[in-house]
Chains A and B, each alone.
Chain A
Amino acid sequence: EDKVVQSPLSLVVHEGDTVTLNCSYEVTNFRSLLWYKQEKKAPTFLFMLTSSGIEKKSGRLSSILDKKELFSILNITATQTGDSAIYLCAVPSYNQGGKLIFGQGTELSVKP
């Protein structure tokens, strides 16, 4: 059965800290992995990763994929209180018609 596992489930840091969120997956016919940020409303798209070793970057956020070890990390540098959210990792499962399989999410809380 295809699955996505994120760690840690929750994390509390102080402003300015750097955090690394982890996502491991077991999916047949892997094609891509997606990261989302969810605050109080709908998940918003951050990154889509398809190739190993190529870092995607957006401001203080960056992400990289390792298709050999079947995981991805999301880094946030110089965290701010506005980064507080649930970060979701998801992988399309072609075993199950292409639907997104979500991890449990990592709840990040950034304290002033």
Chain B
Amino acid sequence: DAGVIQSPRHEVTEMGQEVTLRCKPISGHNSLFWYRQTMMRGLELLIYFNNNVPIDDSGMPEDRFSAKMPNASFSTLKIQPSEPRDSAVYFCASSFGENYGYTFGSGTRLTVV
């Protein structure tokens, strides 16, 4: 099992540019989570999907952030336009039903300059 796969591992972009982060959950997992981690705020949940449907997006900072899950094996988190304060590590995690041993991807380190 390859685990949760995220890409890219690192992203450096200029303010105002669009950024797309990608995630492939573990096959068979039906819940997918996007988290953001910063030194100041720790781990924050941005949005989560269950069976490809967004369940809770209350953590999404603002309209510049959007997430999609077109099928069970792929999700994207898009930031448009990006700002320096979006710089953080973005984690994707997946789980299956009641087994809340969430598995995290390696994260994408985003730097907006």
B-contacting residues of A (Cβ < 8 Å)? 31-32, 34, 41-45, 48, 88, 90, 92, 96-100, 102, 104-105
26 A-B pairs, CB-CB below 8 angstroms? A31-B98, A34-B100, A34-B102, A41-B106, A42-B91, A42-B104, A42-B106, A42-B107, A43-B91, A43-B104, A44-B104, A45-B102, A48-B100, A88-B43, A96-B56, A97-B48, A97-B50, A97-B55, A98-B48, A98-B50, A98-B55, A99-B48, A99-B55, A100-B100, A102-B42, A104-B42
Q: How many A-B residue pairs have CB under 8 A?
A: 49
Q: Name B's interface SS.
A: strand
Chain B residues closer than 8 Å to A102, beta-carbon distance: 42-43
- A92 and B42: CB pair below 8 A? no
What is the CB-to-nearest-CB distance from A67 to chain B, in angstroms, rounded to a whole number?
16
Q: Mark B42-81, 1 if CB is under 8 A from A, else 0.
A: 1101001010000110100000000000000000000000
Most buried by A among B58, B100, B104, B105: B100
Chain A residues closer than 8 Å to B55, beta-carbon distance: 97-99
What is the CB-to-nearest-CB distance from A72 to chain B, in angstroms, rounded to a whole number?
14
Chain B residues closer than 8 Å to A48, beta-carbon distance: 100-101
What is the CB-to-nearest-CB distance from B6 to chain A, in angstroms, rounded to a whole number?
9
Residue from B31, B91, B105 in contact with A98 in the complex, judged by beta carbons closer than 8 Å = B31
Chain A residues closer than 8 Å to B45, beta-carbon distance: 99-100
Chain A residues closer than 8 Å to B87, beta-carbon distance: none
